[in-house]
Amino acid sequence: MNPNFSPSLARVLVSVALDYLRWTQLIPMITAWGFLLIMVAAMLLVNFQQQSFDLIDSSVRLYERILGPVEPVEQPQASAEPQPVTWTEDDFKPLMIRIWGLLAAAGWLLGMVSRLLFGQRPRASLGRKLVRAGLAGLVCSALFLFAYFFGSESFEGPFWQWLLLFFGFPLIVWCVSAWSLTIGWAIGRVQDRLVDAPSAVR
């Protein structure tokens, strides 16, 4: 293979390392969106309990019709009284760092497999990614407002406080996304320069 048109092994290894670094910056964004979606789902579940239970019941009936009845899970009887588990800050920080690294490695591996199966997808511009994140945050705010005005539960406190929560939390998630996406975009630009740059002729 002509070295003038193929990246060197060192550049490929650096690009792979940068890709993992990019995933470490994307994990906070994914976690923040996970918490936000859980909040939205919980808000909708609480305020539309009857509709939610009907949907769950229909899903269970469809599952049993296709795969058979759901077997009850037998809970094992505890032979001894459970001992309380205590966590300290020294135990918590290494665990979180380990989980962060493992999630980044999982995303990195999935990205590698996706590129091998489907090829390299064209990179979307940073502005488009930020707009998409902003639109997703507005959808979450709209769902919060929908639950507030049309839900069955009553909300204590003035409306403006809830309004700050409905728009403030998605705004925080968008700021986290902006940071992660900007770092990821910068790393992607460096990767493109490394791969596209011609190797030196010896």
Residue-wise pLDDT for 41-78, tens only, equals 998 888 887 666 666 666 666 665 676 665 655 555 55
Question: Nearest 5 degrees, angle CA 34-CA 36-CA 39?
Answer: 110
Could you tell me the residue ranges of all domains in the chain?
A: 1-66+123-202
pLDDT digits (tens, 9 = 90+) for 164-191: 999 999 999 999 999 999 998 998 888 7
Instruction: Report helix angle 49-67 to 9-47, nearest 10.
Output: 120
For residue 5, the model assigns a pLDDT of 43
Report yes or no: 147 and 48 within 8 Å, Cβ to Cβ: yes
- Return the pLDDT at 195: 64
For residue range 122-157, what is the model confidence (pLDDT) as tens digits?
A: 778 899 999 999 999 999 999 999 989 988 777 888
**31 CB contacts (<8 Å, ≥6 apart)?**
none
- Among 124, 133, 130, 108, smallest CA distance to 36 is for 133
Region 106-125 average pLDDT: 79
pLDDT at 140: 96
| Cβ-count burial 40-77 (b if 16+ within 10 Å, e if not) | beebbeebbeeeeeeeeeeeeeeeeeeeeeeeeeeeee
Using alpha carbons, select from 184, 186, 195 the residue that is nearest to residue 23. 184
